[in-house]
């Protein structure tokens, strides 16, 4: 019963492979899951709701409104109820509607309301599957954070041989088991993440900033969201995009703007990961007009401190609220990081040094050491920032699960 108590929304569309949905439903139920089936009108032409309802033990949902009494089926409630949604089989039409948000049936509105991870198992003839529009829509769904369970090769409904067969139900269940057992450990937790640089304006065209790309913070946001968390990502100026539907992005420019957003959001969060490279100082006065160069005289700039986001959150954090900080150091790395952790009341701090090749700003890789308040220290080798994000989340939220926060 590896899926015991898990809530799964199964979307069924108008494909000959809909018969596999019956097998998939039966296997999920045997694993202990609760399955709510949402079927498109075309799907009912291939398999009856009576069959699927008998297998799932729940009424099958197809229309927005129940016939006769005016009651309606809440796609919003389904989005909150589910631990996972899978559309299997997914036709080219449904994939296109999902990719472009065309909410003309109950399945698509449920998808648009979904807070949990979403999977799609395509099923169609080989020409449709390899058509540029279908592949473009699949890529768009991937970029939106939807996970594609790729079609397999074999004999199709047209009796042609090629790629387009829906993956077998047994293999789909194995994939879902793996995700729900190891990759959904932050389910429904609310996590705030800060990322990127801040820009402190000197005049309308110039600013004080740093070389942060935001890659580490965005990787952390994607990792948390993929594990089931609801993420609010407060980011300074960056060209990066957040793809997972569970990430709410808040754009800011200056340290003061990030400070205001963080203090407003943090009280409702289970934890905060403060990976942004916030400017320590800003110009005392921002000039209203562009500063002109005249002659060769020196130009001086008076700077004042910015508010300390980490320290401010450390003062208001409640028992059970996790705060994770970052320290980018060039000398006395561990002692400086430990001091920062204590001063700002952080539960752990992620240390990286500019002395390590491939670590720090702008790189796709990072090399970190994680220090915690109880004296534990874990050092990791140089890895991609996506892999580093996994190490940080495993370590930091391990402290929360063990009651050390």
Q: Which residues belong to the active site?
A: 210
Whole-number Cα distances in Å, 305 to 280, 282, 283, 346, 390? 6, 6, 9, 21, 33
| Residue at token pair 């032409």 | 45
For 346, the 3-state DSSP assignment is coil
What single-letter DSSP state applies at residue 276? Answer: -
Return d(Cα 269, Cα 267) in angstroms, integer: 6
Whole-number Cα distances in Å, 124 to 13, 108, 152, 351? 11, 19, 11, 49
Q: Return the closest-CA partner of residue 19 out of 95, 87, 89.
A: 89
| Residue at token pair 């293999």 | 171
Which residues lie below 8 Å from residue 392, measured CB to CB, with a gap of 6+? 220, 273, 324, 350, 368, 370
Q: What are phi and psi of 114, to 5 degrees?
A: -75, 130
For 54, the 3-state DSSP assignment is helix
* CB distance 338 to 375 below 8 Å: no
Burial bucket for residue 266 (CB in 10 Å: 0-12, 13-18, 19+)? buried
Whole-number Cα distances in Å, 98 to 94, 111, 128, 238? 6, 7, 16, 27
Cis status, amide bond into 89, omega within 30 of 0:
yes
- Beta strand 230-235 with 247-251 is parallel
């Amino acid at each position: 019963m590896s899926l015991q108590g898990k809530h799964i929304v199964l979307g069924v569309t108008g494909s000959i492979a809909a018969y596999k949905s019956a097998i998939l439903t039966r296997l999920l139920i045997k694993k202990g899951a609760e399955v709510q089936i949402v079927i498109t009108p075309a799907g009912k032409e291939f398999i009856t709701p009576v069959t699927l309802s008998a297998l799932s033990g729940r009424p099958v949902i197809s229309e927005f409104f129940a016939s006769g009494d005016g009651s309606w089926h809440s796609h919003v409630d389904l989005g909150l109820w589910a631990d996972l949604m899978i559309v299997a089989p997914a036709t080219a039409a449904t994939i296109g509607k999902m990719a472009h948000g065309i909410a003309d049936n109950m399945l698509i509105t449920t998808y648009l309301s979904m807070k949990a991870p979403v999977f799609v198992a395509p099923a169609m003839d080989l020409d449709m599957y390899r058509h540029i529009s279908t592949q473009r829509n699949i890529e768009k769904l991937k970029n939106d954070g939807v996970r594609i369970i790729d079609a397999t090769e074999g004999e199709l409904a047209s009796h042609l041989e090629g790629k387009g067969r829906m993956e077998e139900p047994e293999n789909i269940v194995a994939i879902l088991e793996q995700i729900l057992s190891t990759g959904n450990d932050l389910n429904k937790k609310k996590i705030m993440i800060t990322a990127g640089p801040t820009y402190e304006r000197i005049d309308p065209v110039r600013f004080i900033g740093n070389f942060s790309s935001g890659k580490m913070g965005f990787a952390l946001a994607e990792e948390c969201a993929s594990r089931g968390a609801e993420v609010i990502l407060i980011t300074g100026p960056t060209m990066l995009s957040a793809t997972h539907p569970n990430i709410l992005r808040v754009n800011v420019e200056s340290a003061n703007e990030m400070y205001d957003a963080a203090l407003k959001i943090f009280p409702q969060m289970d934890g905060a990961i403060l990976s942004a490279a916030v400017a320590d100082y800003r110009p005392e006065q921002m000039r209203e007009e562009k500063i002109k160069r005249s002659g060769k005289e020196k130009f001086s700039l008076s700077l004042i401190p910015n508010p300390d986001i980490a320290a401010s959150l450390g003062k208001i954090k409640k028992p059970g609220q996790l705060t994770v900080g970052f320290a980018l150091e060039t000398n006395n790395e561990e002692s400086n990081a430990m001091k920062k952790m204590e001063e700002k009341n952080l539960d752990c701090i992620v240390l990286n040094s500019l002395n390590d090749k491939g670590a720090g700003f702008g790189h796709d890789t990072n090399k970190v050491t994680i220090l915690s308040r109880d004296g534990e220290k874990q050092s990791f080798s140089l890895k991609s920032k996506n892999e580093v994000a996994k190490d940080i989340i495993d370590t930091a939220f391990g402290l929360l699960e063990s009651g050390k926060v």
